[in-house]
Chains A and B, each alone.
Chain A
């Protein structure tokens, strides 16, 4: 909407494209770099998030958490990962072997596809699709398939119950997520994630969009927590009810795939929330106050992104270690009778705001 000259977005795929006329090998090199960096980022981030989660949980619960492996237990996740790799991989008797093997792969694949789109800074993004938001929503829906298949193929009634819960829950909450994403898309006038970030150069949508942006952000956080199947919406794996839900029968590496994709999804959802509503890597700007904006620009965009995403991740962890779990019907009631009408109303309000061109701070 408002073209901002301050930042030029160069993604890895752009680099590969640009390099192609000059040298094929350089182009391939960029592609390999993209693949390697995504894979490495995914596994390292997974371990880091597990460590952070354990530490946050521990301090909420008046204990220290992992302390023995490395300084303050910093290598605990590595030790756990090695343990998971070495564990025996059990397949239940009369399980649907093919689907049982495919299910975790689907989960990880969906996560991986969404991860490449996240703009972490102007130069740290792998692909910048012009339909970015739609693509992420679509790929997010694909992740449900892994969970459904995992629950179905395990030949275990508890797993099946968990998978059915997951199916109902994810399909329902996806609607709310998309409604809240649309608000930001309307404000930004683009589906492309980098452009959505650029559009917030005069202020983040959470406060520029009046109350509408804020409500959309709240809906997004609630619905994405449900979509990530984290407490208080962790019904698909409800440990005390379903003994682990859809991944009850999984062990070793395959279990770690589910586990990894769950944690990376948490990062993706938080990053998406930060990108759409909190300005992504865009520093804290107030339209018109150029001096203030220049000071804020001193902090590099990557740090802004990490800070905002980290804040949302901490928020979801805080909720996780405080709240009990909802019941199945209460979960559905929350979505269909509360969040969905609110989301639609909010979307209409946002549309009116845009038609009348009344944001905060165009100044």
Chain B
């Protein structure tokens, strides 16, 4: 009996004749839309030579839900909850971007209580987002344990959200004109507990991952993005600051009560994965500092200044405002005709979408393993890329 191994031979013949000798051939490989390292449905086309990456072609659009288009047929209050579904780890900040846009357009000034609570919630959200990122980075680099540590500590903060807001992920809490509800009576003590808990945990993160030789080998001088490149690509947030550009909207155009608190902007020097790692870890510490400065001083006052039953009508014009989410600058464009309570056009400049295009220039010439480190250090939330 003859054993048919002709298909093996056939394949060698076919690949030989395809283009040139087999060892010099470049080939394409599809990373995603279902791939464990792309955190959702991001698709990357990789042009590989052996294991060396020659080109990365991002193909977004697999989770496009038309949030901007839906925004044209709902009023501003209804639109807030859609923004939760963009960057779900910065849900509070997304809500705040809409609220701020509407408030600035209608010249409504918020009282201190609202601003304090909004700032505290935004910083809590930033801490939990970075905690999750830290765990996921560990998992992407092959260490599964940090993933569970990150999730465990993040739960303490989502518990606080749940108590006041009723939700853990998609908040819909910050509304145009104020907040959905007043803070829970336990809020202040719970936040203090959580901050006291989180501080040593961040030192623990450093012990588990930062000091590890393999992690440093995998991240130092990997995926270098120069400051000039980062600016020209429109990269914002921690990746931009890691490249040495101290651009933080909380400092440059303070909103909320960021002008009343003291915190430092973490800035990297090289712009590699290690700097991006370090910037985020430091941001967690700074955010804890911000929350601690604010939590004891929440003033009394109303939590909602616009009557929920009343229509919000923005004067005619195009309005832009921006906010620093956990991933970078979220720009909010609202165009209104001045008659209807619905916008004519609504558009978001999402941080992840711009950061995505930095992957190619960061990754060329490195290995598949480096690509994973790069994606992870840019911290994508894919629904925010497509919206």
CB-CB contacts of A310-345 with B at 8 A, as 1s and 0s?
A: 000000000001111111111000000000000000
Q: How far is the CB of A149 from chain B (nearest CB, A)?
A: 10
Q: Does A351 contact B (CB under 8 A)?
A: no
| B3 lies within 8 A of A161 (CB) | no
CB–CB B143/A325 < 8 A: yes
**Partner among A96, A234, A323 whose Cβ is within 8 Å of the Cβ of B7:** A96
Residues A325 and B5 in contact, CB atoms below 8 Å apart: no
Across the interface, which residues of A come within 8 angstroms of B139, CB to CB? 240
* Contact flags A51-65 to B (C-beta < 8 A → 1, else 0): 000000100111100
A329 to B222, CA, bound (A): 13
Cross-chain contact A157 with B29 (CB below 8 angstroms): yes
> In the complex where A61-B149, A157-B27, A240-B37 touch, is A324 in contact with B214 (Cβ < 8 A)?
yes
Could you give, for residues 233-248 of chain A, a 1 whenever the CB lies within 8 Å of some chain B CB and a 0 otherwise? 0110011111100000
Residues of A within 8 A of B4 (CB): 98
A232 within 8 A of B: yes
With most chain B CB atoms within 10 A of its CB, the pick from A61, A161, A241 is: A241
Interface residues of B in 136-157 (CB under 8 A from A): 138-145, 148-149, 152
CB distance from B362 to the nearest CB of A (A): 15
Residues of A within 8 A of B148 (CB): 61-63
- Knowing A238-B369, A242-B368, A329-B367, say if A321 contacts B145 (CB, 8 Å): yes
A283–chain B nearest beta-carbon distance, Å:
35
User: In the bound complex, do residue B209 and residue A324 qualify as a contact, i.e. CB atoms below 8 Å apart?
Assistant: yes
> Is the Cβ of B143 less than 8 Å from the Cβ of A241?
no
A263 at the interface (CB under 8 A from B): no
CA distance A232 to B144 in the complex (A): 11
Number of A-B contacts (CB under 8 A): 92
User: Is B8 on the interface with A (CB-CB < 8 A)?
Assistant: yes
Nearest-CB residue, chain B, relative to A231 = B142
Taken together as a complex, chains A and B put the C-alpha atoms of A157 and B143 apart, in Å, by: 24
B36–A240 touching, CB < 8 Å: yes
Answer yes or no: A99 CB below 8 A from chain B CBs: yes
CB of B217 within 8 A of chain A? yes
Question: Is B335 in contact with chain A by the CB < 8 A criterion?
Answer: no
The answer to whether B368 touches A60 (Cβ under 8 A) is no
Q: How far is the CB of B110 from chain A (nearest CB, A)?
A: 41
Find chain A residues with CB under 8 A from B369 CB.
235, 238, 241, 325, 327-328
In the complex the two chains form, is A324's CB within 8 Å of B8's CB? no
Q: Which of A60, A63, A328 has the most CB atoms of chain B within a 10 A radius of its CB?
A: A328
Other contacts beyond A235-B369, A324-B142, A326-B214: 5, CB < 8 A? A232-B142, A321-B144, A323-B212, A327-B218, A330-B218
Chain B contacts to A: CB under 8 angstroms = 3-5, 7-8, 11, 27, 29, 35-37, 51, 138-145, 148-149, 152, 208-209, 212, 214-215, 217-218, 367-370, 372
